[in-house]
Amino acid sequence: VISLGFTLLTVGILCGAVWANEAWGSYWNWDPKETWAFITWTIFAIYLHSRTNTNWKGTNSALIASIGFLIIWICYFGINLLGIGLHSYGSFTLTPK
C-alpha cells in the first residue's frame, strides 16, 4: 500500500510542478506545502529503501513508516491551517473581539 501511495505522491508532485510552471513560471518555489511534500516523499523513499535491507526490516522500518504518517498529517493539516505560502487557502483567520 505504501508503494502505491509513494507512486501516486511522486506523480502528484511531478504534475504539480508542471502545473506550477505553467501558472507561475517556476517548477518549484520552496513554498511550505511543496517543502513538506518533498519531506514526505523523502521519508517514504527512505522507508522503501529500508525494506530492502535485512537489518532494517520489522520495527525499524515500521518506525520510519509511522514518522511518514505523522508527516503526512503535518503536511495536510498543519501547513493548510497555518495560512502561509501559496497554498494558504485552508487557513483559519482569528478575529479579535
pLDDT digits (tens, 9 = 90+) for 51-86: 888 787 778 888 988 898 898 888 877 777 776 666
Q: What's this model's pTM, rounded to 2 decimal places?
A: 0.76
Nearest to 42 by CA among 10, 76, 87: 10
How high is the mean pLDDT of the chain?
Answer: 83
Q: Where are the domains of the chain?
A: 1-82
pLDDT digits (tens, 9 = 90+) for 15-58: 999 998 998 888 988 888 888 889 999 999 999 988 888 787 77
